[in-house]
Amino acid sequence: MKDQRIALITGSNRGIGFETAKQLGEEGITVILTARQLDVAQRAARDLIGQGIDAYGIQLDVTNEDERKAAALYIAEKFGRLDILINNAGVAPKESLFVSKTLETSKEEFAHIYETNFFSVVYLTRELLPLIKKSTAGRIVNLSSILGSLTIHSQPESPIAGFRVLSYNSAKAALNMFTIQLADELAPLGIKVNSAHPGWVQTELGGNDQAPMSITDGAKTSVGLALLGEDGPTGKMIHMGEEMPW
Are the CB atoms for 7 and 138 separated by under 8 Å? no
Q: For residue 78, name the pLDDT band (cuts at 50, 70, 90).
A: very high
Domain ranges of the chain: 6-244
Residue type, 241: G
The closest of 197, 161, 172, 151 to 93, measured between CA atoms, is 172
Are the CB atoms for 5 and 53 separated by under 8 Å? no
The mean per-residue pLDDT over the stretch 11-37 comes to 97
The closest of 136, 122, 114, 132 to 72, measured between CA atoms, is 132
Residue 148 carries which DSSP code? G
Is 1's pLDDT higher than 80? no
Is 30's pLDDT higher than 90? yes
What percent of the chain shows pLDDT beyond 70? 92
Query: pTM for the whole thing?
Result: 0.94
Are the CB atoms for 30 and 54 separated by under 8 Å? yes
97, with CB counted inside 10 A (0-12, 13-18, 19+), is middle
CATH topology of domain 6-244: Rossmann fold (3.40.50)
Instruction: Kindly report, residue by residue over 154-173, the tens digit of the pLDDT.
Output: 999 999 898 899 999 999 99
The closest of 69, 121, 133, 66 to 91, measured between CA atoms, is 121
Which positions are annotated as active-site residues? Answer: 168, 172
